[in-house]
Amino acid sequence: MERPRWPYATKLTISLLLLAFFIFLLARFREIIPPLIIAIIIAYILNPIVNFLQCRIHLHRYLIILFTYLVVLAIIISIPILIIPILAGDIAALEINTQQIITSIEAALAQQYHVAGITINPGAIVTQVIGTLQGLIQPIVGQTVSVAMGIITSIIWIIFITLVSFYLIKDGAKLEEWFTCHLPSPVLPDYMWIRDEINQIWSAFFRGQLLLSTVVSIIFIVAGYILGLPFALAMGILAGILEFLPSIGHGIWLVIASLLCLFLGSTWIPLPNWVFMLIVIGLHLFFEQFDLNYLIPRIIGRRVHLPPLVVILGIVSGAILAGVLGIPLAAPTIATARVIGRYIFANLFDMEWTPISAAQPLPPPKTYWWQRSQRREKSP
């Protein structure tokens, strides 16, 4: 005897209830979403490395994952160990006179400046700022328990991210197999297409992000040595790392570079420190626009098959909706939503759906206009 099937109205009602319950869970446990996303990204990046080592070493996957985490931790620790001696050499070469810097600051604060008939007293302003900061710090110092709880919470989140990413790498294939086996056979081909398409998008994104970070590091290192920026090598590497946080990373780098320029000046250009600082600020503001409007859309946008304008709007929207985490993940998220949206649109209107390969980059503008002119010539 054939089992009775649910009518369409029952299926629709159950689906809406499940969707409402899922939205409730997202709202209720929204604090866990950012750490979970970070854990998934870490697992996605390290999983190919673990698979490669497992094919070569032939050990238990658990041991290989543990070895991979230890190697990554060793690399993170070794980076400052390698950079600190270089910085120490740069500091020795700069021959920084701390007493002279302090004297210069005191002299600058002791003077009064007249701008457009307005007298500015930097010393009084600094005194007021210090008093304000003391008023802000005193309540914070009294909240030692809250600070300690914040530190403990951060440690717990780090442990959570590590454990979740560890088990995602360890059991990710089993979870994928379990999920695939429980899908209805009619939708299995579509699921495989969508999965492969999204996987290509995120793989292309991480490759593009790594390339972008490398390009930015090279640009900043070369420009730093040309301008005589103190600690040019370290500042270039820092710029490449902060490129994973567009806009925010630029602001952090600019603050650090401005302070170095103001107190140390150029290593070889005979300019006043404040003039050199203004030059660096102007060049960095120009590069920031070049980065946001050219490098990111071209390098990241083409690899995820998105136009530059969509990437720019996605960065702004990601910052508004998801804060810092939404900025670097805007482009692949939009590309993923486009794949799913095309699939839904095609099925709603009974159209044929075929995936767009993210591995094929967008055609350059010259090729596009050439193809368009060719079509015009062929048209009657």
Q: What pLDDT score was predicted for residue 93?
A: 62
Across the range 147-161, mean pLDDT stands at 82
CA pseudo-torsion sign 241, 246, 249, 250? positive
Q: Within a 10 A sphere around the Cβ of 143, how many other Cβ atoms?
A: 11
Give backbone dihedrals phi and psi of 271, rounded to 5 degrees, phi first: -125, 150
Q: What pLDDT score was predicted for residue 367?
A: 41
Q: What percent of the chain has pLDDT over 70?
A: 77
Q: What pLDDT score was predicted for residue 220?
A: 94
Across the range 121-145, mean pLDDT stands at 62
Q: Which of 161, 182, 203 is the last residue of a domain?
A: 182
User: Average per-residue pLDDT in the chain?
Assistant: 79
Predicted confidence band of residue 78 (pLDDT cuts 50, 70, 90): confident
**Residue 124 to residue 213: CA distance in whole angstroms:** 43
Q: Which of 7-21, 139-153, 256-270 is least confident?
A: 139-153
Which residue from 222, 197, 223, 165 is spatially nearest to 305, judged by alpha carbons?
Answer: 197
Predicted confidence band of residue 167 (pLDDT cuts 50, 70, 90): very high
Q: Which two tokens stand for residue 216?
A: 């930015």
Instruction: Report the DSSP pairing between strands 118-120 and 113-115.
Output: antiparallel
The answer to whether position 22 is within a domain reads no
Which of helix, strand or coil describes residue 231? coil
- Do residue 266 and residue 160 come from a single domain? no
Q: Which of 182, 211, 239 is the last residue of a domain?
A: 182
Q: Which of 66-70, 94-98, 165-169 is least confident?
A: 94-98
CA atoms within 13 A on the CB side of 97: 7
Cβ–Cβ < 8 Å for 39, 164: yes
Which of helix, strand or coil describes residue 95? coil
Q: Which domain holds residue 211?
A: 189-380
Q: Which of 140, 161, 182 is the last residue of a domain?
A: 182
In tens, the pLDDT along 345-366 reads 888 887 777 665 544 444 444 4
- Do residue 131 and residue 251 come from a single domain? no
- Do residue 264 and residue 376 come from a single domain? yes
**Residue 259 to residue 255: CA distance in whole angstroms:** 6
Q: What pLDDT score was predicted for residue 363?
A: 47
In tens, the pLDDT along 135-147 reads 655 555 555 556 6
- Do residue 375 and residue 259 come from a single domain? yes
Cβ–Cβ < 8 Å for 242, 235: no
Is residue 179 over pLDDT 50? yes
Cα angle: 313, vertex 361, 317; to 5 degrees: 15
Three-state helix/strand/coil letters over 354-369:
CCCCCCCCCCCHHHHH
Across the range 66-70, mean pLDDT stands at 92
- Do residue 313 and residue 361 come from a single domain? yes
Structurally, the chain folds into a number of domains equal to 2
State the burial class of residue 352 (Cβ atoms within 10 Å of its Cβ: 0-12, 13-18, 19+).
exposed
* Cα→Cα distances 250→288, 291, 299, 320, 322, Å: 7, 10, 18, 18, 19
- Do residue 123 and residue 259 come from a single domain? no
The answer to whether position 26 is within a domain reads no
- Region of 116 please: left (phi>0), alpha (psi -120 to 50) or beta: left
Across the range 102-115, mean pLDDT stands at 68
Is residue 268 over pLDDT 50? yes
State the burial class of residue 11 (Cβ atoms within 10 Å of its Cβ: 0-12, 13-18, 19+).
exposed
Q: Which of 125-129, 232-236, 248-252 is least confident?
A: 125-129
Higher pLDDT, 300 or 232: 232
Residue with tokens 């160990």: 81
Cβ–Cβ < 8 Å for 273, 265: yes
The type of residue at 267 is: T
Q: What pLDDT score was predicted for residue 218?
A: 94
- Do residue 315 and residue 258 come from a single domain? yes
- Do residue 230 and residue 105 come from a single domain? no
Higher pLDDT, 281 or 120: 281
In tens, the pLDDT along 275-291 reads 999 999 999 999 988 88
The answer to whether position 19 is within a domain reads no
Q: What pLDDT score was predicted for residue 136?
A: 54
The answer to whether position 9 is within a domain reads no
Residue with tokens 């600070």: 147
- Do residue 116 and residue 239 come from a single domain? no
The answer to whether position 93 is within a domain reads yes
Q: What pLDDT score was predicted for residue 293?
A: 79
- Do residue 116 and residue 247 come from a single domain? no
Q: What percent of the chain has pLDDT over 90?
A: 17
Higher pLDDT, 68 or 132: 68
- Do residue 373 and residue 226 come from a single domain? yes
The answer to whether position 281 is within a domain reads yes
- Do residue 66 and residue 94 come from a single domain? yes
Distance of CA 75 to the CA centre of its chain: 19
**Residue 331 to residue 244: CA distance in whole angstroms:** 12
Q: What pLDDT score was predicted for residue 70?
A: 92
Q: Which two tokens stand for residue 367?
A: 């090729």
The answer to whether position 255 is within a domain reads yes
Across the range 145-157, mean pLDDT stands at 77
Across the range 63-77, mean pLDDT stands at 90
